[in-house]
Amino acid sequence: MGAVIQMELFPKADKTDFESARSMLKRYLRMRQTSEALNSRLLLTEKEQQVKVEYQQKADAIEMAVKLIQDDDVRRVMEFRFVRGNTRWGTVKRFGNITDRSVDRRIVRGVESVAETLKLIGQIE
């Protein structure tokens, strides 16, 4: 008899997916600003139109993934750090009631959650 392969209903993110999600989160603000700048222009080249659409899709997917984080504390840290574009140190200072290592752990959990969502919707292959 042949081996039975079990498929997952929801694909599970792996280490490379987490790295891809973190990279996208770091570039989020730049992608959002670029797409908004291209939206304000009247005439776009084919390449500019392609970049605008791609960046809008990715930025919207990131925003949705961050909003879908179940843990309120993790979601607030992720929004402050990546969506608003603050530094790690600024995030640690903002959430001064918890230690810097706790902030880092929340960021790791948030990146994992974002990676799972992006993998599910096909933004990460």
H helices within the chain, ranges in order?
15-39, 46-67, 72-78, 88-94, 100-121
State the average pLDDT over residues 31-46: 95
Global pTM value: 0.89
Task: Quickly state the pLDDT bin for 12 (edges 50, 70, 90).
Answer: confident
Task: Quickly state the pLDDT bin for 98 (edges 50, 70, 90).
Answer: very high
97 CB burial (10 A radius; 0-12, 13-18, 19+)? exposed
111/117 Cα distance (integer angstroms): 10
60/85 Cα distance (integer angstroms): 15
